[in-house]
Amino acid sequence: MDLVKLVQDQYIEKKDMPDFNAGDTITVYYKIKEGNKERIQFFRGIVLQRRGSGATETFTIRKMSGNIGVERIFPVNLPSIDKIEVNKKGKVRRARIFYQRERTGKAARIKERRM
């Protein structure tokens, strides 16, 4: 048996996350420690990709802050993630939608998938 997989299964706790893919709009609530205080901040944006598997899986989120695009990569098993909320399901044909980086305004819209 694979020794790395055995250790990952034993020591890394699995979080119950909602099912989301590229094109979905999600909100990630994560804890920030400032000195001895802790607060929860959220990051809402479109999922550009999910990458990896198991303990090393990550996902990239992009949001527009004013006229500037901000991307952030979150590991799935990050202990500081409080919760993940799926706001909208997007209808895209690709697993990685990096073409969104060049688009602004109406061209950047993603159709919503019916649930």
pLDDT in tens, 40-66: 999 999 999 999 987 889 999 999 998
3-state secondary structure the chain: CCHHHHHHHHHCCCCCCCCCCCCCEEEEEEEEEECCEEEEEEEEEEEEEEECCHHHCEEEEEEEECCEEEEEEEECCCCCEEEEEEEECECCCCCCCHHHHHCCHHHHCCCECCC
Q: What is the CATH number of domain 15-90?
A: 2.30.30.790
Domain boundaries, the chain: 15-90
- What global pTM score does this model have? 0.86
pLDDT in tens, 62-104: 999 988 999 999 999 888 999 999 999 999 999 999 999 999 8
